[in-house]
Amino acid sequence: MESTQAIQYAQNNRERYLAELKELLAIPSISTHSQNKPDIQRAAEWLTTQLTGMGFENIAILPTAGHPVVYGEWLHVPGKPTVLVYGHYDVQPVDPLIEWTSPPFEPTVRGENIFARGASDNKGQIFAALKALEALLKNEGLPLNVKVMIEGEEEVGSPNMARFVAQNKAKLKCDIILNTDMGVQRPDLPALTYGLRGMVYLELWIYGASHDLHSGGFGGSVANPAAVLCELIAGMHDADGRVTLPGFYDKVRKLPDEERAEIARMPFSDDEWRKMTGVPQLIGEKGFTTLERLGARPTLEVNGIVSGFTGEGTKTVLPAKAMAKISMRLVPYQDPNAVEEQFKEYLRRHAPPTVRWEVRKLSSSPAVLVQRDTVGVRAAVKAMEATFGVKPVFKLEGGSVPAVSLFQANLGVDPVQMGFSLPDDNFHSPNEKLHLPTHNRGIETYIRFFDAAAGR
C-alpha cells in the first residue's frame, strides 16, 4: 500500500523544501580547493541539522584523512530490510565564473530550473532522498531501516573512501544500497544505471630548461616542453579515435549483443546531442554508436593544460615546463593500476630524451557493473513506473562514482543507482541546474521506493 499521506505532504511542502535546498546550495563546498575547507564543514553541519530535524539518530560527522562523512540512522523496524542511502555534499569548482548567468552560490530559479553549483550533482539528489524520508517519518512512518551516508570527496575521486568503507563495515552493513548520484534520460523517461565507468586521473609534467628562456635567443636549440606535451598528447589517440596506450583495450569488457540491442532501443538522437553540446560534429571511437561510446567504451580526455605565458598580449618566452591533467574513463575489467602503468609505459616509449617527465596520480577507481535483478532494483522499477507512468530504461553511465565499487567489495551489496538529474543539467560546467518538476517527481519516486523495498 502506497504512502499517499507522505506524497501529499511532499507536495504540500514544496515551497519550504525549495527554500531549504537553496540554503544547502548557497554553501560553496568545493572539495578540491583547500580554501573552501570551512564551507565543507558548514555543508556537513547543515546536513546533520536536517537529519536531527527528521528524527534520525547516531548522527555524526565522521572524520577521514580528507573531508568528513555525514552519517545518521533510523533503525526501528526490526525484521525489515536496511537501506543505505549514499550521496555527496561536495561540489566541483565553478570556473570559468564569467560564464555563469547567475552566481554559482546564489541559487536562482529561472523557469522550471534552479541554477547553482551542485544543484543537480549531487546536492539536489541527496536532498530529494532526505525529503522523501522526512515525508515518510512525518506521516505513515518509515517502513524499513535506513542509514544515510553523505561523503565530501566524491568530486576529487573519493581518495579516502576505500579506507573509510573498509573500517566501517559494521556501521554500514545493509541489505540494499541507494546511490542517489544518478540521472534519468529525459523528464518523461526514468532510468536506472547498471554500469559506471571508472577513472584514472593523472597529471603529466614535462620539464625542459631549468628556467623560462627567451624564445628568440634560444628557440631552435632546446626542446619546448609545451610542444613536446602536445606531441605526446596527440599520439595518445590514433586516427580511429582509439587510445594508443600499450595494452589499453586488452581487458576491456566486450559489450554483449543483447546490451548493444538494448542501447540501440534507447531514445537518443545524435543530432540532438550535437545541438545540446553546440559542437559542429560529434566524434569518437570508430565502430561504436555515441551511446555505446559514452557508457561502454573507455576514453582518454585532457581536462586541462597549461604552459608558459597565457595572459594578455605577448611574451616571447620558451617555457621551462608544461602540465596537462589527463583522465581516463575505464570500463569493466580494466584495472586502474594497470592503466596508470600503461600511461607510463607510453611515455617511456614516446617521450623524447630532450625533456624529463613526471606523472602524478590524483585519483583512481575501477568501473562497476551492478546486478539488475535484485530486491532493490525491482522496488526501484516499481516506484519509477508508478511515478512516471512508464517503465524505466536500464543504462550505462559515462561518469564515475568511486564509492560504488567499494560498497560491492566491502559490503557485498550492488547499489540501486537511481537519481533524477538530466543530461543537460550542466554537471561540472557553468550554469549547473536542477529541473524542479523532475526533482519533485524524484522525491515521490524515493517515497514509493522505500515502501516497495519494504514490501509495503
CA atoms of 252 and 224, how far apart (whole Å): 35
Cα–Cα distance measured from residue 236 to residue 229, given in angstroms and rounded to the nearest whole number:
11
Please, what is the minimum distance in Å from the beta carbon of residue 423 to its own copies? 7
Helix (H) or strand (E) holding 39: helix 37-54
Three-state DSSP state, 177:
strand
CB of 174 to its own copies, least distance (A): 26
Question: What is the spatial distance between Cα 45 and Cα 53, in angstroms, rounded to a whole number?
Answer: 12
Closest by CA to 331, choosing from 263, 395, 249, is: 249
Q: Which three cell numbers stand for residue 280?
A: 559542429
CA distances from 433 to 89, 95, 114, 154, 239 (A): 16, 15, 5, 19, 36
Give the pairing of strands 176-179 and 416-417.
parallel
**Residue 355: CB minimum distance to its own copies, A:** 7
Three-state secondary-structure class, residue 60: strand
Q: What's the min distance (Å) between Cβ of 34 and its own copies?
A: 7
With respect to its own copies, which residue has the nearer C-beta, 60 or 222?
222
CA distance 179 to 115: 23
Judged by beta carbon, residue 55 or residue 423, the one nearer its own copies is 423
Helix (H/G/I), strand (E/B), else coil: 108: strand
Taking the C-alpha atoms of residue 6 and residue 295, their distance in angstroms, rounded to an integer, is 35
Distances (CA, A) of 126 to 118, 176, 418: 11, 16, 11
The least CB distance from residue 442 to its own copies, in Å, is 18
Q: Give the shortest CB-325-to-its own copies separation in angstroms.
A: 6
Q: Which is nearer to its own copies, 282 or 390 (CB)?
A: 282
Least spacing, CB of residue 302 vs its own copies, in Å: 4
State which residue, 72 or 332, has the beta carbon closest to its own copies. Answer: 332
Q: Which is nearer to its own copies, 342 or 365 (CB)?
A: 365
Distance CA 12, CA 21 (A): 16
What's the min distance (Å) between Cβ of 12 and its own copies?
Answer: 34
Residue nearer to its own copies on the CB measure, 309 or 333: 309
Nearer to its own copies by C-beta: 12 or 316?
316
In whole angstroms, the minimum distance from the beta carbon of 289 to its own copies comes to 10
Residue 209, classified by CB atoms within 10 Å of its CB into exposed (0-12), middle (13-18) or buried (19+), is middle
For its own copies, the closer CB: 3 or 224: 224
Cα–Cα nearest to 129, from 186, 56, 61 = 56
Cβ at position 96, least distance to its own copies in Å: 7
**Which residue's CB is nearer to its own copies, number 65 or number 210?**
210
Extended strands (E) in 366-408: 368-369, 393-397
C-beta of 107 vs 402, nearer to its own copies: 402
Cell of 149: 551516508
- CA dihedral of 270, 440, 378, 396, whole degrees rounded to 10: 20
Give 179's strand partners.
86, 417
